[in-house]
């Protein structure tokens, strides 16, 4: 209600007061809240990594260079003068800005962030500050970012530029990854200069250029503050400060928060208490890499967007166009599939708020406050076998329940204690994610379904686990739900699992788990300061209830239990539920 009033005041002021508005509303909504408003509503953006590295596309002198393609100059230790030669043949004649923007829009994205200069130091825009730019140094001779800015303007989509402010491998004063370890740049011909020479000579002037010449950017996306100093950061921040409506991220200088934080290549297990945006690749590399076929499925990507929205964050999903200027076909297919889903279900994403639930075993929830209640969007990933969807622990008055994609179909429901049971149609209209809309009247009270000590034990279902996968590596995933839920594909020894749970009583607990293991492995289990090492013996393909050991829990309240492989003793296991039994 309070928010609604503030909005009303704002609207009235906007209409009636003209230029005076800013001053008068300052006390109501902060400047930061104002510039973040569209971004919080948008939820979904396109990241584009495009530069000279698209040409080698992960291969140098006939050799496949491991790692992300935009890092090829560093990974293959290519001398500056040699890498520079790529510009002489960079000619993306198939580039069509309008087509890229239409694709992003079709996918349901509301903004685009593109690399204006990555760590290789090459400017993808016209620059007076450095001739090492696409207009002056390539046969292409066009400014693709100008064309993109025009297309964004035409199609009403917001635009941001990525600018690698610290790392610049092309400049004597630019930083590089291991500069903080005191290691030298790989190219001995690059005679080092102080950082501020580069900051004042190139970074500051170029940032001025991108902020002045493209009709005003909505976002400035800094990256990897390696080797940054406060002096350098202040010089760049002073330029950004000239554009108070522009949003910046938290990567200019390590302690500075910017407007939003940037989990990279992973989704945080719960919402963060600050605006946040996950940046994520569709395959492994950001820049185009011709032999990177490690594509995430459309299903994974749609569910990831929903997962992020259910925690109150944004998703910036990446594509790496080719040196010809085309977005690779697998990326186009995925963007179109997401778009198809968003066309029907976008209402459950844009401008929504985080889920009021701790966890929902069958999917996710996003919500929206209305004038007289709350609208819940229930995202059903796993269609329940008995066609009864259990919404745990809510107390409210239900107004109306329907399928989002089919407005005419009203669904019946009843309460069983505090659980709302919704009667679903016989089969899922959308196997990836069917959205059910629950409109409630009055306020909504949710009792947390966080696992807790009850009947002498704490049950930690596999589908309540937070899976911490490494950004670059093999990902463990959840398969099935309810009693069938399993963590599978847990082969990478860096993957760890965490559960939140609650106990009001300390004590000694026996840790049991449902495990299947082809070979023996070792695990480390930790709660607070207490740690337990457990050995798992081969079970064959059968799931077996296994005792992992005992652990003392000396604290109470909301706690986290983590399970991680012992690096050198890991052969991969599959895991069902974990149970802590009080002795
Ligand atoms: O622009 C994309 C990446 O190029 C950039 N940020 C995203 C948005 C990025 N820079 N660094 N990192 C991401 C992570 C750094 C990874 C490293 Fe490595 C591990 C640097 C050195 C070891 C990967 C492997 C890069 C070089 C070797």
In this predicted structure, what is the pLDDT of residue 272? 85
358 lies in some domain: no
| Cβ 239 vs Cβ 204: under 8 Å | yes
Distances (CA, A) of 29 to 19, 233, 241, 250, 352: 16, 27, 19, 21, 19
Backbone angles phi, psi at 435, to 5 degrees: -100, 130
Where does residue 43 fall: left (phi above 0), alpha (psi -120 to 50 degrees), or beta otherwise? left
177 CB within 6 A, ligand 1: yes
Would you say the CB of residue 286 lies under 6 angstroms from ligand 1?
yes
Which helix (H) or strand (E) segment holds residue 298: the answer is helix 298-310
The pTM assigned to this predicted structure is 0.92
What is the domain-level CATH number for residue 175?
3.20.20.80
Is 31 contained in some domain? no
Q: Measured from the CB, is residue 140 less than 6 Å from ligand 1? A: no
- Report how far ligand 1's centroid is from the alpha carbon of 101 (Å): 26
494 and 577 together in one domain = yes
Q: Which of 347, 380, 409 is the last residue of a domain?
A: 347
Cross-strand partners of 419? 416
Residue 316: the pLDDT is 99
* CATH number of the domain bearing residue 383: 2.60.40.1180
Q: How far is CA 501 from CA 328, 337, 409, 486, in A?
A: 43, 36, 37, 19
Check whether residue 531 and residue 501 sit in a common domain.
Answer: yes
User: How many whole angstroms separate alpha carbon 378 and alpha carbon 364?
Assistant: 6
Domain containing residue 433: 363-446
CA distance to 79, 392, 398, 422, per residue, from 415 (Å): 69, 10, 10, 9
CA atoms of 189 and 315, how far apart (whole Å): 40
Ligand 1 mean position, distance from CA 301 (Å): 22
- pLDDT (tens digit, 9 = 90+) per residue, 245-263? 999 999 999 999 999 999 9
Mean pLDDT, rounded, for 2-27: 37
Res 540 pLDDT > 90: no
Q: How far is CA 452 from CA 229, 414, 449, 547, 556, in A?
A: 46, 26, 8, 20, 11
Q: Is there a domain that residue 326 lies in?
A: yes
Statement: residue 76 has pLDDT above 70: yes
Residue 23 has pLDDT above 70, yes or no: no
Q: CATH number of the domain at 480, please.
A: 2.60.120.260
Q: Quick one: pLDDT band at residue 471, thresholds 50, 70, 90?
A: confident
In angstroms, the CA 424 to CA 83 distance is 59
Residue entry with tokens 């004038």: 371
Q: Is residue 137 part of a domain?
A: yes
The mean pLDDT value for 513-523 works out to: 96
Mean pLDDT of 406-420: 93
Q: Does 24 score more than 60 pLDDT?
A: no
Q: Is residue 434 predicted with pLDDT exceeding 60?
A: yes
Residue 406, SS3 per DSSP: strand
Confidence of residue 443 (pLDDT cuts 50, 70, 90): confident
Q: What are the respective helix, strand and coil percentages of the chain, to the nearest 5?
A: 25, 30, 40
Q: Which of 425, 446, 467 is the last residue of a domain?
A: 446
pLDDT recorded at residue 4: 36
pLDDT per residue as tens digits for the range 335-379: 999 999 999 999 999 999 999 999 999 999 999 998 889 999 999
**Best probe residue, ligand 1, of 51, 177, 289 (max atoms within 8 Å of C-beta):** 177
* Stronger pLDDT, 3 or 118, i.e. the higher one: 118
- pLDDT at position 14: 35
Mean pLDDT calculated for residue range 529-538: 95
Least confident of 238-247, 286-295, 399-408: 399-408
Domain boundary among 393, 414, 446: 446
Say if residue 313 is in the same domain as residue 373: no
In angstroms, what is the span from residue 90 Cα to ligand 1's centroid? 23
Residue-wise pLDDT for 472-514, tens only, equals: 888 899 998 888 899 999 999 999 999 999 999 999 999 999 9
Q: Which of these ranges, 8-22, 481-495, 553-567, has the smallest mean pLDDT?
A: 8-22
Confidence (pLDDT) at 25: 47
Q: Would you tell me how many other CB atoms lie within 10 Å of the CB of residue 317?
A: 24
Q: Is 113 helix (H, G, I), strand (E, B) or coil?
A: strand
Query: Does 65 contact ligand 1 (Cβ within 6 A)?
Result: no
Do 464 and 412 reside in the same domain of the chain?
no
The pLDDT value recorded for residue 27 is 54
Is 451 a member of any domain? Answer: no
Residue 16 lies in a domain: no
Res. 273: pLDDT tops 90 = no
Mean pLDDT of the 181-205 span: 97
Nearest residue to 220 via CA among 274, 162, 145, 173: 162
348 neighbors 366 (Cβ within 8 angstroms): yes
Look at residue 158 in the predicted model and tell me its pLDDT.
98
Answer whether residue 419 shows pLDDT above 50: yes
Total number of domains constituting the chain:
3
Same domain (yes/no): 439, 567: no
Strand stretches in 152-243, DSSP E? 158-163, 219-222
Cα separation values, 479 from 91, 361, 516, 576, Å: 45, 11, 14, 10
Shared domain for 396 and 493, answered yes or no, is: no
The CA distance from 345 to 434, in Å, is 9
**Residues 13 and 6 sit within 8 Å (Cβ to Cβ):** no
pLDDT at site 455: 93
Mean pLDDT of 137-150: 98
Q: Mean pLDDT across the stretch 68-81?
A: 98
To test the ligand 1 pocket, which listed residue (53, 71, 288) has its Cβ within 8 A of the most ligand atoms? 71
Establish whether residue 67 lines the binding site of ligand 1, counting it when its CB lies within 6 angstroms of any ligand atom.
yes
Q: Average pLDDT of 308-313?
A: 98
Whether ligand 1 lies within 6 angstroms of the CB of 71 is answered as yes
Percentage with pLDDT > 90 across the chain:
88
Beta-bridge mates of residue 44: 315
Sheet holding 413-416, edge to edge: 388-391, 419-423, 413-416
Going through 447-572 in order, the beta strands assigned E by DSSP cover 457-460, 466-468, 477-479, 486-490, 496-503, 507-516, 521-527, 530-536, 544-553, 557-565
CB 100 within 8 A of CB 50: no
Block residue for tokens 């059968």: 542
Q: Say which range, 190-194, 218-222, 469-473, 556-560, has the weakest mean pLDDT.
A: 469-473
- R_g of the chain, CA atoms, integer Å: 26
Pair 180, 286 in one domain: yes
Q: Can you tell me which atom of ligand 1 is nearest the CA of 119?
A: 4
Mean pLDDT, to the nearest integer, of 80-100?
A: 98
Contact 68 CB / ligand 1 (< 6 Å): yes
Band of pLDDT at residue 15, cut at 50, 70 and 90: very low
Query: 254: number of CA atoms within 13 Å, CB side?
Result: 5
Looking at the structure, tell me whether residues 254 and 375 fall in a common domain.
no
- Mean of the per-residue pLDDT values for the chain? 93
User: Is the per-residue pLDDT at 7 higher than 50?
Assistant: no
**Co-location of 122 and 170 in the same domain:** yes
Shared domain check, 410 and 319: no
Q: Is 346 in the pocket of ligand 1 (CB under 6 A)?
A: no
For the chain, what is the largest distance between any 2 Cα atoms, rounded to a whole number of angstroms? Answer: 75
pLDDT at 535: 95
Q: Are residues 264 and 390 in the same domain?
A: no
Highest average pLDDT, of 308-322, 462-476, 532-546, comes from 308-322
């Amino acid at each position: 209600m309070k928010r609604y009033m503030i909005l009303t005041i704002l609207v009235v002021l906007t209409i009636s007061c003209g230029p005076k508005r800013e001053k008068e509303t300052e006390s109501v909504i902060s400047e930061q809240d104002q510039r973040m408003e569209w971004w919080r509503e948008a939820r979904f953006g396109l990241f584009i990594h495009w530069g000279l590295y698209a040409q080698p596309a992960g291969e140098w002198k006939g050799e496949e260079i491991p790692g992300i393609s935009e890092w090829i100059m560093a990974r293959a230790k290519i001398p500056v003068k040699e890498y520079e030669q790529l510009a002489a043949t960079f000619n993306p004649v198939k580039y069509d800005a309008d087509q890229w923007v239409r694709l992003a829009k079709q996918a349901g994205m509301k903004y685009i962030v593109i690399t204006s200069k990555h760590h290789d130091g090459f400017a993808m825009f016209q620059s007076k500050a450095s001739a090492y730019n696409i207009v002056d140094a390539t046969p292409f001779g066009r400014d693709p970012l100008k064309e993109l800015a025009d297309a964004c303007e035409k199609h009403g989509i917001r635009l941001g530029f990525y600018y690698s402010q610290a790392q610049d491998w092309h400049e004597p004063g630019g930083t590089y990854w291991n500069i903080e370890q005191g290691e030298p740049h790989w190219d001995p011909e690059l005679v080092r200069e102080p950082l501020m020479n580069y900051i004042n000579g190139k970074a500051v002037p170029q940032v001025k250029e991108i902020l002045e010449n493209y009709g005003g950017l909505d976002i400035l996306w800094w990256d990897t503050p390696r080797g940054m100093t406060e002096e350098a950061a202040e010089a760049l921040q002073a330029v950004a400060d000239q554009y108070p409506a522009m949003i910046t991220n938290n990567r200019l200088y390590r302690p500075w928060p910017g407007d939003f934080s940037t989990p990279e290549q992973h989704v945080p297990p719960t919402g963060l208490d600050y605006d946040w945006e996950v940046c994520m690749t569709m395959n492994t590399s950001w820049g185009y890499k011709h032999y990177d076929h490690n594509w995430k499925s459309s299903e994974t990507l749609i569910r990831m967007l929903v997962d992020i929205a259910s925690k109150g964050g944004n998703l910036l999903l990446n594509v790496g166009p080719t040196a010809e200027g085309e977005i690779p076909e697998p990326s186009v297919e995925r963007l179109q599939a997401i778009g198809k889903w968003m066309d029907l279900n976008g209402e459950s994403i844009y401008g929504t708020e985080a889920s009021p639930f701790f966890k929902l075993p069958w999917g996710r929830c996003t919500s929206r406050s209305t004038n007289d209640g709350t609208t819940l969007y229930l995202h059903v990933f796993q269609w329940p076998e008995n066609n009864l969807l259990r919404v745990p622990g809510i107390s409210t008055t239900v107004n109306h329940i329907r399928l989002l994609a089919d407005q005419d179909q009203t669904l019946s429901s009843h309460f069983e204690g505090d659980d709302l049971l919704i009667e679903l149609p016989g089969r899922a209209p959308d196997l990836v994610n069917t959205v059910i809309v629950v409109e409630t009247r009055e306020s909504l009270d949710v009792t947390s379904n966080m696992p807790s000590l009850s009947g002498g034990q704490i049950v930690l279902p596999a589908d309540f686990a937070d899976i911490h996968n490494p950004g670059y590596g093999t990902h463990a995933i959840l398969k099935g739900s309810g009693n069938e839920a399993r963590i599978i594909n847990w082969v990478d020894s860096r993957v760890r699992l965490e559960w939140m749970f609650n106990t009001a009583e300390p004590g000694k607990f026996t840790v049991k788990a449902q495990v299947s293991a082809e070979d023996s492995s070792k695990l480390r289990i930790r709660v607070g300061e207490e740690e337990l090492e457990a050995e798992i013996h081969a079970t064959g393909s059968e799931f077996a209830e296994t005792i992992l050991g005992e652990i003392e829990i000396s604290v109470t309240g909301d706690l986290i239990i983590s399970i991680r492989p012992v690096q050198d003793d890991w052969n991969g296991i599959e895991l069902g539920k974990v149970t802590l039994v009080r002795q």
